[in-house]
Amino acid sequence: MAFGIFKPAEEYKLVILVRNDLKMGKGKIAAQAAHAAVECALYAEKKDKKSFDAWHSSGQAKIVLKVDSMDELNEYFKIARGQGFTTSMITDAGRTQIAPGTTTCLGIGPAPVSEIDRITGELKML
């Protein structure tokens, strides 16, 4: 075993839930998902170093899933927050395709795959 290399007991991932009802273009979705991933990672690095380090050392998996509405996004936000996950709700500035203040996506994690899958495991890939 090499010293200085951290190998988590379980794989970690960060999940991004994107609102499918907004019909955003591919580039817009990519930008919004990136915002969610960066926000979650920065927060976790400061407030949940163990999860951040495990996720970072295991390849920084990011999975993008779809939800059908703002109501559904809010439900996942409440569940994830209630279970203590790092979350980041992303609201668009409105410079391109979407009205200012529109919530586009939600980042959850990083956290162990098994824990996130209990919440988001039934959702479909975008």
Residues 22-73 pLDDT 10s:
999 999 999 999 999 999 999 999 999 999 999 999 999 999 999 999 999 9
Q: What is the dihedral of CA 62, 122, 11, 114, to 10 degrees?
A: 140
The answer as to whether 126 is a domain residue is no
Domain of residue 46, CATH code: 3.40.1490.10
Residue 3 lies in a domain: no
Q: Tokens for 69?
A: 């509405």
The pTM (predicted TM-score) of the whole model is 0.91
Note down the domain range covering 70.
Answer: 12-120
What's the rounded mean pLDDT across residues 5-17? 81
Query: Phi/psi of residue 103, each to 5°?
Result: -80, 125
Q: What is the CB-side half-sphere exposure of residue 120 using CA atoms within 13 A? A: 32
Domain presence at residue 66: yes
pLDDT at site 95: 85
In this predicted model, which residue has the larger pLDDT, 1 or 83?
83
Residue 4 lies in a domain: no
Domain contains 7: no
Please report whether residue 5 resides in a domain: no
Residue 49: other Cβ atoms inside 10 A: 11
Helices 113-120 + 70-82 axis angle, to 10: 140
Here the tokens at position 106 are 């939600």
Q: Residue 2: its pLDDT value, please? A: 44
In a domain, 6, yes or no: no
Dump the DSSP string for 76-96: HHHHHHHTT--EEEEE---SS
More confident residue, 6 or 35: 35
Residue 3 pLDDT > 50, yes or no?
no
State the Cα–Cα distance between residues 105 and 91, nearest whole angstrom: 8
How many structural domains does the chain have? 1
40 domain residue, yes or no: yes
What's the helix, strand, coil split of the chain in %, to 5? 45, 25, 30
pLDDT in tens, 71-124: 999 999 999 999 999 999 999 988 888 999 999 999 999 999 999 999 999 999
